[in-house]
Structure 1
Amino acid sequence: MTAYFERLDAHRYRATPAVGGGWNPAEQHVAPSLGLLVHAVERELARRGSGGARLARLSFDILGPYAIGDVEIAVTTIRPGRTIELVEATLAHGGRTAIVLRAWLMQTSDTSAIAGADHLPLPPLEGLEAWEPSSIWAGEFVRTVDVRREHIAPGRSRFWLRPRLALVADEEVSDTARLIGVIDVANGVTPRAHPQELAFPNLDVTVHLIDDPVGEWIGCDTVVGFGRTGTGLTHTVLHDRRGPVGTSDQILTLRAR
């Protein structure tokens, strides 16, 4: 396998076995699907000429599990505009919508003179030990992701991620789409509890980007918190080699196994 998806036509893709999920290997891990939705939005913007707008917020709602197989993506504009635009993209499997993405796009401008964020820097990936997600997770997808991790405590880690496979076979994909297609695993790389003892799947992923991530690797400074009424939160500050580029949040449902 060289990719997570193969294109069938303008809107349909076939998932390869590489997308097998951690909670159920027969179901798709949502991570590659999130990247695929971003790729579809970027292709639509390029097709109609977006005038330099960039993705600033990506809010994914995960409506339920779906088996490995063909998926179909549709992209529509909810709020058109020359400087700010809201786009919606849906991913369906077997005629049922599985993921909904709402993406805010913002017009670019040169603010390099005031750029910066005072988040703590990540340790260089070269100094971190490789960690194998398959040591605690099932499914093929986690076997295709390189992880260099500094484990600080249960629910607290700093690490770098890299997908080893292409997002779509024989197709150019942006760094943003490719890296969005792996960050859902932040929840699994920083477990506060062992997945054999507690299920903690996320219902959403919400990403805010102040810069487009660049390069092969995405860095994550992640904290997982569990509440007292069955809800958790995975919060991640995202980095590339240059520094912080945004944040990612995942709301969790906590279920004893």
Structure 2
Amino acid sequence: MILMKRLMLFTALLVLSFNTFAAEPDWSAYAEALKSVSPGTKNDVKLALVDYQVLKENGKLEAAYQQLSSFPVKNLSNKKEKLAFYINAYNILALKMVVDHWPLDSIKDVGSLISPVWGKSAGSIDGETVSLDDIENKILRPLGEPRIHFAIVCASVSCPDLRNTPYTASNLNAQLDEQIQQFLSNADKGLRIGDESIQISRIFDWFGKDFKPVGGVEAFIRRYRSDLPQLPFKESINYDWDVNGITAK
């Protein structure tokens, strides 16, 4: 009987410990906010459009931000958990940056040439003030996962599409692969086959060194588009910085 009681106590402590230190945050509010994302077209580009006016009015993004900002990051115990958390964090804060300054035509309008938006305070996470640049360049890129560039979305037309569900550690690999395949299948902003070259997004130029550990840009792309002809690659698709939503009036 004593042994049984000790076993039950040990089991209860394990359950309590797991619930206390669970690494996956509650993304329920963010999932609700993402219901404002839907397929559309802007500037002749097919993309996932965000209804920023609705997000400004319904409070769902603010609820998502509160869940994000209060999460103790020390609970993130492995690379996948960190990647999923900070990808969602970047996207929530990018949305918040636009909503907080809505209406606007481009997220870049929040900043200037001297003080770009990327370095401005975007919010706080676990008591620490962060910028979009902090999350992308100080946290995510050092984790050595080039697929992040197709998951983080800087609220612009030519960015990869904002996924309409949160990223999770348990589904991260599949989610990132889906993002890449979708982006490279979009001739308006990801990849376009020409007569003499294969035109690709400028993202591959800006972050080219991140793809070197996986064989370089061309090897990375061909891994997901094995149907491509043997033509040279050029980072030449125009990057449209207009906001990825209904244009501000």
TM-score (norm 1): 0.25
**Structure with the larger helix share:** 2
Q: Please identify the structure whose Cα radius of gyration is greater.
A: 2
Which structure: greater strand fraction? 1
Q: Normalising by the residue count of structure 2, what TM-score does the alignment of the two structures yield?
A: 0.26
